[in-house]
Structure 1
């Protein structure tokens, strides 16, 4: 569950990353340019490094981009490698919730009948404070020889709540703040809230996840970006 949560954070970061200069494509909040790299570092509630994910754009055109991601633990051991393809639709970026799944998780159920359904994550090209963003949901059903396993993931109550200036090791950025509720239901139901700080020209600069008492349980920072 912990690694799955980290992967969700990193992929949301991935779809929010944008370019530093204007591009001849349909995306404002995403670098559809080959060879762009960036890094997201995840921290525990004690502000200790929990994992680091490096991203690389391996293929790009005017309306889609393919990314390779490498999730490593604090000691550098690779926990997961994945490939994601993003596309543009209705003046924004869209991605299937299925892309958030850890490929190792799917591999665990490769011998069983699996059905995945849901809605797409939408990131509009233009953001403003007070804007409400569409929810995104995903359901995975696994038929394990008569035993049914159901996993549900949802990202709801997505709203642009503020603008703030954030400083990290990568620099100082003027950011939109997006708040949302994240729910994962797999055997046990886990609901948390989160905020993401995203900046034009950089993407996601910071994220914080909170428990029901409003205390930070984990956080993420953009720690590297190159084009």
Structure 2
């Protein structure tokens, strides 16, 4: 259950960078009915599950739009975990309603648990440029799992910077991308870890690829856009 919940937090932190164009932002998808499929790979390039995103219940127009993001994670054994959460776009800022993560569907998959979620959003401006530094983000979760068992988790995304521009090809097509470097710090129970990552972002598409590394800079896993429909 701990591994599933950490994957959920990381997927949500990635989600704002994983979406396509809307009237509010170049890199956020708030188009009703849009679907994106990402395939996860381990350090050896073997398939390690999928994450599917779909957008529903889009309301508003122009610089003020809200939508529901539905997320489905499928691991390599075929186990499926689902959740949905609310996204609001106001001008150049997109906000995630973290409390909406505590929906009945998600809680039922985790058993008898109470949660308190807080944090700051992952922000992405409309205009990116090489060398640009981006704001940090985090999610903090306090969990009570029956009896006296408590678990606190904190996931921070720090040192975000636009490194370069380059073109990459995936099963979904060829895309001109900005490459964003960041570091993710996780604190769960007594375990602390920090791992770097790079995200490839294409205008009008969003996240095309993401690579995660260990502290020595070696690849430990990747996520690639394999299907896209708007």
TM over 0.5: yes
Aligned counterpart, 2:223: 220
Equivalence for 1:190: 193
Contact 1:97 1:137 in 2 (8 A): no
TM-score by length of 1: 0.85
Shift of residue 165, structure 1, vs aligned partner: 0.8
1:206 equivalent to 2:204? Answer no
- Report how many aligned residue pairs link the two structures: 220
Maintained 8 Å contact 1:6/1:42: no
Task: List gaps (5 residues or longer) in structure 2.
Answer: none
C-alpha contact 2:98 2:117 (8 A) present in aligned 1 = no
Equivalent residues of 1:115, 1:140 under 8 A apart: yes
Q: Which stretch shows the higher mean deviation, 1-10 or 210-219?
A: 1-10
For residues 33 and 124 of structure 2, the distance between their equivalents in structure 1, rounded to whole angstroms, comes to 22
Between 91-100 and 190-199, the greater mean CA deviation after superposition = 91-100
Are the counterparts in 1 of residues 16 and 123 from structure 2 also a CA contact under 8 Å? no
Question: Which residues in structure 2 correspond to 1:1-227 (within 5 Å)?
Answer: 2-16=3-17, 17-19=19-21, 23=22, 25-61=23-59, 62=61, 63-75=65-77, 77-96=78-97, 103-104=106-107, 107-108=110-111, 110=113, 112=114, 114-142=115-143, 148-187=150-189, 188-227=191-230
8 A Cα contact 1:13 1:203, kept in partner: no
Contact 2:9/2:139 (<8 A) preserved: no
- C-alpha displacement of 1:26: 1.8
Q: Structure 1: which 5+ residue stretches go unaligned? A: none
Q: Shift of the alpha carbon at 1:124? A: 1.6
Q: Is the contact made by 2:85 and 2:97 (CA closer than 8 Å) also made in structure 1?
A: no
TM-score (normalised: structure 2)? 0.84
Q: Verify the 8 A CA contact 2:166 2:176 in the aligned structure 1.
A: yes
| Per-residue deviation, 1:139 | 2.1
